[in-house]
Structures are given as C-alpha cells and as structure tokens.
Amino acid sequence: MRRLLLSLVVVLAGWGGEAPIIVGGASSMAEAADELASDFGQGPVEVSVAGSQILVSQVREGAPLDVVLTADEATASELVRLQVLATDPIVFATNRLAIAVAPGNPHAISGIEDLANPDLTVVLAAPQVPAGRYTAEMLEAAGVAVTPSSLEPSVRSVLAKVQLGEADAGIVYRTDISRGDVAGVEIPDTVSPVAEYYAAALATSAQPETAAAFVAFLTTPAARALLAEFGFSP
C-alpha cells in the first residue's frame, strides 16, 4: 500500500523526466496545439484543452498553466486585466467562421442568409464562448435573424450536432471544416469577422524562459507552416 502511494506520488510529480510546461489551448485549436507542442523542441509541453473562457477561469483560480492560447480578444484582455501575464498577449494565428452542413448539403445552403429559414434546425455556439460571440457579431452586422435550436457550450459541440445529423447546419470555424470530416460552406472574408488567437506566458510560470520560448516559437516560420496546415492564417 505504502509503495503504491509512493509510486503514485512519483508519477504525479513527474519524477525521472524534465517537468513539462503546460499550455492551456482554446478548444478550437486542439489538434494544432498538440502538433505545436510536439514540434516545439525546447522541452516537453503538455496541452490542456478547454474553452477560452474556461481557460481564463482556470487561470483566475490558480491553475498551474505556463502559457495560454485563447481564441478572442475579450478573453485575452481579461487575462491582462487579471494581471497574471508575464508579457502582453500576441496574436499568432487568425481564423474565420464557416457553416457546417450535413453531408452533401441537402438543404443547398450557400450563405448565412439561408440560415434564417425557420424550417432548418440550426445550432450555434453560446455567446459565452468566442465562436458564439463572433457568430452573434456577424449575424447582427449582416442583419440575418437566425432562430437557433440550441446554443452549444463549445464550437466543437456545434460541429458534433451537425456531424451526427441532429442539426441541419451550424456556424463553426473555417478550420473545423477545412479538416474535411464535415461538409462545409465558406463564409466570405467580407462577411465573417476575423477570429484572432492570442498567446501569452503566465507570470506565475515555474519555467518562465521555456514559457516565453514557446510563445516566441508560435510566430516562427515552422509554426506558421504547421498552423496553415490546420487552416489557420497568420
């Protein structure tokens, strides 16, 4: 029993290896963040994925994160206001919104105006999460009144509801449809707001140099190329 407890402690403390820095990544860039972590090359990185707003809550309540990647300016400036950052947040990637539709696009949706059709089951991200905020902003600017069937807790659950066939359409990120496992309709740059991804190292990091190096790595050509593979723009 005692030995078991001891080995548990050893595992939890990560003995026998270099302690990784922990990067809190916005859910919409889960896959890209994993790849960035493995390509970093200046020390081990662990990625903890959550919605941007949840990441902010985690930081506020003292979670041991070293770097935070959030999906909008609002969450980034909340971090600034909390005075927990080592440096000002930088924009390292951008994204746009897109419409996810059922395979083969049976309702022939070609733009956001089509989503106003009351016969369609449309799901959107809740306005509490960045994707939902961008969506609300875009629909309002375009003067399109969409009656959503559900305001989902994350952009990924919007995607799931469309993939499962429960919803006819949903507004997600362009990167979500560029992976090709869900049918999508692009929203022109003139209509879609730009989603900016912010990175910042936390002042509370136990490894401030590595944390700063990771943030710097995000704007290198190698990282840019990798982000582009996932559909992000610089």
**Binding site residues, other proteins, CB under 8 A:** 51, 53-54, 57, 121, 123, 126, 128-129, 148-153, 161, 164-167
Residue whose CB is less far from other proteins, 81 or 234: 81
- For residue 186, the tally of other CB atoms under 10 A from its CB is 16
CB 200 within 8 A of CB 10: no
Give min distance, CB of 55 to other proteins, in A: 11
Gap between the Cα atoms of 192 and 136, Å rounded: 11
Closer residue to other proteins in complex, CB, 3/119 = 119
Nearer to other proteins, 36 or 49 (CB): 49
What minimum distance in Å lies between the beta carbon of 1 and other proteins? 13
Q: In Å, what is the CA distance from 126 to each residue of 58, 69, 130, 134, 171?
A: 19, 20, 8, 10, 11
Cα–Cα distance measured from residue 198 to residue 70, given in angstroms and rounded to the nearest whole number: 5
Smallest gap from Cβ 134 to other proteins, in A, equals 15
For residue 122, the surrounding DSSP H or E stretch is strand 122-125
The 8-class DSSP code of residue 233 comes to B
Distance in Å, CB of 164 to other proteins, minimum: 6
Smallest distance, Å, CB 216 to other proteins?
30
The smaller minimum CB distance to other proteins, of residues 116 and 191, is found at 116
Nearer to other proteins, 94 or 150 (CB): 150
